[in-house]
Structure 1
Amino acid sequence: MKFKTLLSNFTLIMLILSAGCKKDDFVEVAGLCPLVISTNPTNGATSVPLDQIITITFNEEMNPATINLNSILISGPSLLTGTLEFDGLIATFTPTFPLIENTIYTGRVTQAVKDVNGNALQTDYVWTFSTGLIIGPLVVTTSPANNENNVALNKVISATFNMAMDSSTIDQTSFIIKEDFNAIEGVISYSGNTAFFTPTNLLESNKTYTGILTTRIKNLAGVSLVSDYIWTFTTSVFQPPTVISTDPFDHETNVILSKHISATFSEPMVANTITASSFTLKNGISPVSGAVSYTGNTATFIPSTPLLANTTYTARIASTVRNFAGTAMENDYVWTFSTGTIVIPTIISTDPVNNEIGVLLNKVISANFSVPMNPLTISTSSFILKSGTTVIQGTVNYFGTRASFIPTNPLNPNTVYTATITTAVKNLAGTSIAADYVWSFTTVNNIPPTVIATDPTNNATGVLLGKIITATFSVPMDPSTINANNFYIKQGSNLIPGILLYSGVTATFIPSVNLKSNTVYTGTITNSVKNAAGFNMTNNYVWSFTTVTIPPPTVISTSPINNATGVAINKVVTATFSTTMDPTTINTSSFLLKEGVNSILGNVSYSGVTASFTPFALLKANTLYTATITTIAKNVAGVSLVSNYVWSFTTIANPPPTVISTDPINNATGVALSKVLSASFSTAMDPTTINSSSFLLKEGTNSVLGLVTYSGVTASFTPLALLKANTLYTATITTIAKNLAGVSLVSNYVWTFTTIANIPPTVISTDPLNNATGVVLNKQVAATFSVQMDPATINSSTFTLSYAGIPVSGVVSYSGIIARFTPNNPLIANTLYTATITTGAKNLAGISLVSNYVWSFTTVVLIPPTVISTDPVNNATAVELNKTITANFSTAMDPLTINGTSFLLTAGNNAVAGVVTYTGITASFNPTGDLLPNTVYTARITTAAKNLAGTPLANDYIWTFTTKPPAGAPYVNLNSVARFGIIAGVGITNNAGQSEIHDMDIGISPGVRASVTGFPPGIVVNGAIFASDDVSPPGVAAMLIQAKNDLTAAYNFAKGASVPAPVLISGDQGGLTLTPGIYKSTSSLLIASGDLTLDAQGDPNAVWIFQIGSSFTSIGGAGGSIILSGGAQPDNIFWQVGSSATIGDFTSFQGNILALTSVTMNSGATAEGRMLCINGAVVLTSTNIINRP
């Protein structure tokens, strides 16, 4: 090879010398000329851009004075003008004007160009290139589509082009929207291939608009639209707005005197049309003064002074209020309501209850009122605690409907205390309680606590090794005194490590490790432990117990078995036990392997009930080994084997290795010239013996040079050069090759094979086939050869594609026996293409095709796909809420274009989240959650959806359907407040214990973070606490305001819901079963005498709304819980509470509380739902759990 290269170089030098040149700077050999070594564009280049800058690179430094427009010429239809620059080796020509499309250009570097030593080019250097055919820009889609109806009034109008456009040509003069003959104002923007027109004002309702894209719009090459593009669309017809609910609702009675009156509209309204003139309140004919506000879809009237008791009021929304389309209500909306008579507040419960005994000395005394009270009247003057005639000092606070007295010092033991709420306390209407409320209680006595039971009991036997040890006290204890210093377990004098817990009256010790078998343990509780009143035990409490006896473990099997012979020398030795062992005792001290007295080094592992010994080196052949499991090995109970377990085995004698297969096989023919030879052995070989001395390849008597490698059980020989064609070769594995035991082959292993003959390669198949039609535009063209080809000969010169004589640019690749041509751009529709494999393509033996191989095919005719059916069908009604929406196309689509951008589902203007999939000819939209009941949904397949040929739908495909109405009550949409497990106005308190809120947030507004107390020990799992004064993250205050607005809207909606007709209920609902619907109580509501069951009757979407006029209380004991049956879901249950809600001790609550004044969860109460309060506070009394419904 080196000789041929030198000969070629010598010939070239002689040719140049004979031409009379003198010098070359590369090698300083006299007589060599300068050369052009590359150009850009290259010779024969096609589709060259019209703004191409042309460069010429020389092989050496040239004389700049000879580089000019007379010595370097570029011509097309005429000689090009431009500027020419030169820097060292490169000349750069910049044309004055863009090149002409679809034109052949010729570049010429004349002999006037010389190097710095005066040597000229031997001949002129000439090359050609051609520019591409420029396709003009087109508008491929618009939004809204042509002739689209019901277009939203806030629509941003857009047009998408088939290529990138010059954004400077897209402005108010080239992108115009007209209503009749008048252009509307708007802002123009451009991104990607899309221009956007954002109207300055809302479009008018029920109007036809015309969009115009003029020929002033150009692409980046300066090519304009062929003609103006014009389309029309019509906006939606807007119905007049209506009032859909009010609070109070029409003819409501017993309305509280501090009521804020609100009205919710069917759609967003213009806020400045909702004023004190358009929203009025009258008492008879007398106007009521107040402030009017508007947020969301709700207008609110706040009277300047409390309403009068037992009075009828008339509220009016004037027809002058307007929506954003400028449409007014058809008529004034008028409704009436009546306030209640003055109700005297009462105390409905106290803690401690009257005559309670055993009250803790650190007790906070509290009283719950029937209605919200004026906090200014709740003080140490109106809430008094005495011991006899002695007034107890303390502080008083008030939250929701609860007043609390916190003594400054602990109470005295075994003492009667009297608490009094005086008539100085008043409700928000200024009404006092009828008389002083007095109750008494007695504190805990000072009898020392005792241990009344233990588990295990004293002197217990057969105690399990994983036993959790407990001690139960006679009274509740001070948890801070139940610790590792005062409660411990010993084995003899050794302390047992463990975890200590305390709950109720029970202390629990959980050992960190299992106890030992058949062992005596002693438990001690010292007299340092104290009860809740602070009294110590009189003496230490000591008890003992004995653990169960665990039988010793045994070895039940081994591998190899005892006295086994013929064991492999790479054997992993294992032993299986009768029980689970302590892994820390299975090691190289407890698992031994020896040859005679010599220990074998290895790695010991343990899994399940099996120990394994893996020797570091192969065992010796034909050798006796002894394995031992010693008594160091113990089970998980700490019990050892009774004695060492010993067994032995003998390894296999060493047979000589053999060659079991070769590649090529013996006498193979047609072997590739690039073949790598291999031989596989019957056993693992010593790699150091597999080399060029033990693996030989010969052609006759001539050795073939190559590289020998070894892996696994296979040796490989890679020739350094290609084998000769049609030649017999002999391969040999000699007896130098040995196995790992050092045993050689018995004799040399010899085989022969013959290489492939010099037969010209052929193309045996193509894709597409010759004369194929309907070929997709993104087709990769491929040709399959009869044999492996030389990849260096498969390139863009030997594999070409063209149409009408115009070359197609693309990338050529080769793998296996297949060459592929990938066009740089999609093919043109309905066009005949010709593919050619030239004789420049050669096989590995260097043999070319006999002649060029040529075939042709025609691309697909573009027919836009259509949607042929949908499910649900257009205008379908009573659609299931868990419906997956599907659309079937007329042809197979490109799956990459079927996604969340091209398949949309909306409810009004609100997008529905979901997952889009595609299979066959069907696209599916699976909503993330259930659809809303009795709601009109609009589904849309946009023109972004394309078939496999890349053709989009002609227009967006739109259809609508309506979901089935809900069972029972209408669903109350919480909107943004649904993220909260607790939200309140002025305070959130966790009084005691580790209360937990799961998968939801806590929020307070307008209250501040300082008003959120008791977190910790309370925790929020997978959520956060937000307050109106948070400065980070930005936007918290606005987020909370919106959530409170959404809560108010939900509260008003639930209170005003009237279809189906509400069922009137009152008093205690305990023990009842209620089906879905609206249940209305004009006053308080209780769940006390039993549990309340809500039965969905098999419908998981069933809804309950409880409209409660004043307070709502569940009372633990005989019941007080909410039980769900028949598929009822807590997220579909809404408790609209006109004042305060109280969830009873240790009850289980279901649903969403929407309370006006306050919410209290008593000790141990849990909820699947939300505690949402508009005005007041939410109080967690002790260890409450709220889970997301």
Structure 2
Amino acid sequence: MKLNEPLFSDGKVGRSIRFGKGIGYGLAILFCLVLSACGGDGTEDLNGPRVMETNPAPEATGVPLSAPIEATLSNRVDPATVNNDTFIITGVSGEVSYQNGKAVFTPSIPLSDGTTYHAVLTTGIRDLDGVPLPENFIWSFTTGGAGGGGPDQTPPEIVSTAPEEGATNVAIDAPVRVVFSESIRPETLRTDTFFIRGVPGEIRYDESTRTATLQPLTPLALQARYEVTVTNQITDRAGNPLPAAQSWSFTTASLLDLSPPSILSTAPGDGETGVAVNTSIQAVFNEEIDGQSLSSNFVLQGPGGGEIASSIRYDSRTATLTPSAALQPETTYQAVVRRGVSDLSGNALAADVRWSFTTAQTNPPPPPAEDRTRPTVIDRQPTGIDIPLSSLVTVRFSEAIRPETLAGNFIITTRGRAISAEIGYHAASRTATMIPSRLRHGTTYTVVLTHDIRDLAGNRLEHTSWTFRTANRSDNDDDDD
């Protein structure tokens, strides 16, 4: 057997091997298998174990109440170092094990519904060479249920209808509109879930306004009563149905609608000055109009009569025109609603309607820069070992924080159990103080500050944790156990 010096064909450092004629390919294959079993190219992480993946994932919601909590580690870990002192779920007791490269925490009882938990892997976890995790690893997750960031379990509601219950003098070709409290699954809006009894219709849904529109395919009868029904087969995006079916009625007009629509008000008003350059233009009509007729008939003109690129939206007798870009300062613009705009009976405006406005001289000063900087911990005590039992836990922050966010998020634990403590906050020094109810000799404690601690602007703290160990009991110490 001869050894040569080049790299493997895949570029990994090593030596290629030529087997003599008396050695078959079987030995070569066996050699490769042994090499693979010993770690392949020998790239075992020499920097210690790292957390590669967690289950549940960080910030996960809707987590099952009986699910084990797992963390996959990069290196082969000493199983003895994965225990209740090094794998902690705040406020939860359970069994900790190391299986197939994963640290597994199995709660003793099901987790609470709609609750956020914080998981901590400490630097006490070490690989087979004794190298520890480089730092405590913290993540959070929320169990399923209302009130805790879990799945949406709130049913949608009907906010308004048009025509309203008991409405009279309704146009015979008026659509029926229903506004919901939240986004609806469009596929659940069908002619068997939203209908006028005995009248065929076509349904449209506007996601931006959460509005379902039912347009009769044939004119309704004059001076007739009609009943509208919305069933509880309509659901929100999470699949929650309406609590119950709802029905209401209205009565159509006794005469055909032959009156043209008119504009009741505009914004900005005619002749208005100092208008913001990012304004939208609105026209409010005296009756429902055909939204399709607004296209090319509601325009904004700049100096010289050129039309400004814009988008148009219509809802509940209000047409809104939004320019695609900011308008020029100190410039007069003219809005035009042309007579091509018509109501639902096909009656058109009697004449074009025009009004003008002038934008402001300069843009208003920009608002103060938004604070998006996360607070950090700039000092923490105690740290290390041989800590006296009378020690307080103190944390100094880089900026003022909301004291009310400390409760439940500034925690001290040992062996996976949280210890009761009093917490205070001194605003002038930006320091939080914890007085544990009782520390014990020769015990390792983990202090956890979760990212639900927030500064005055609402920015979250980065997850922070550290450990300290109290002094062993001497012969002169009183019995504390």
TM-score category of the 2 structures, normalised to the smaller one: 0.3 to 0.5
Q: Which structure carries more strand by proportion?
A: 1
Higher relative contact order (Cα pairs below 8 Å, separated by 6+ residues): 2
TM-score where L is the length of structure 1: 0.17
Flag the structure with larger Rg: 1
